[in-house]
Amino acid sequence: MIVVVPTLAAVADRYGVGQGRAQFLIAAYLFGLGVGQPVVGALSDRYGRRPVILAGFGLFTAASVACALATGFTALLLCRLLQALGVSVGTVGSRAIVRDTHDALGTVRALGFIGAAMGIAPVLGPLIGGALTTWLGPQSVFFVSAGLGLLVTVAMALRLAETRQVTGLLQERQHWLTSYRDLLGSRVFVGYTLMYAFLQGCFFAFLAVAAVVFADHLAVNEATFGAIWGAMGLTYVAGAWIGARLTTQLGSRRLLLVSTSMILGAGAGLLTGTLIWGVTMSGLLVPLTLLMFAAGVQTPLSVAGAVNHRQDMAGTAAGLSSSLALVLSGSFSIAAGYLYTGDFLPVAALIATSAALVGITYRMTRQAE
């Protein structure tokens, strides 16, 4: 998704639409992920991880080619939606496979290392997208996406073995609505899902206004802001890597308590600093760095907590949890855009509130102990 962000201006020019309409490319993609993840999760529990993943990446590859060849903006939006529906198997399938092949503690460690690797994407994605757009035009981003999708599809077809274990006919026949009902009725599953959602909500709220805040309040240009955000991405990677290594020594519950405390402190620090000193470089960067590091630690823990809750429904749990978190955290971006009218304090309060809600959801997950 993020590789497309630098292309939006060029896409607007290519298709003769305004910058506001070009943003629909992001919205269409997020909508596709939100709809696709719970569906492919349920399908992977019923029919297996391998066929669903191969079909999803096949759809992503074909939709990427269609995006590159689209002659109208409406067609491009539809192809972006199909792209997202296809690639939604990536997040859900990988989490389900990890749970299939690891015990509960091993799942946390594995997702931590995966999170560290994936944390590089927000750093490299905009650089790659911007370079391709400058040299070859915005359609080149979609052609490259298609090439990568084809490469992944072929590699999966050759090397991916089926990992789903069918424990009985009851699981095979269970309706997906029944699975959703069971998961949504679980305090632990909902707690971990909300924890992940509110943690992401902190970042969605900040990202909605970040470029404007740095430019208007701190006179930071786009290049410097990009470098700052890239450093934040590396901080997330460090948190995920260190968290994965500490899981065995501290245990997931103790590590979850430590990361939750850091998130609460970061939210309170951001709000307090803004109240006392207004918007300053250190007042933003210190709590945001702490928040980003803690997110690297906690994200794999909360994701693993949701997936570990019912191993027999790992795919459904991964899809439903990810989709609900995406929708809820995205609402913080909308709220931040509405609240920001030149004063960062309301947005800082929103971020602190989201951080506080992470603390509340930690208590919900304690039933897992």
Residue 134 — very low, low, confident or very high, per pLDDT cuts 50/70/90? Answer: confident
Angle subtended at Cα 212 by Cα 206 and Cα 214, rounded to the nearest 5 degrees: 80
Between 251-255, 301-305, 309-313, 328-332, the lowest mean confidence (pLDDT) is in 309-313
pLDDT tens string 258-271? 999 999 999 999 99
Could you give the number of structural domains in the chain? 1
Residue 367 — very low, low, confident or very high, per pLDDT cuts 50/70/90? Answer: low
pLDDT tens string 252-299? 999 999 999 999 999 999 999 999 999 999 999 999 999 999 999 999
Residue 329 belongs to domain with CATH number: 1.20.1250.20
> What pLDDT does 175 receive?
63
Q: Supply the range of the domain harboring residue 231.
A: 2-160+168-368
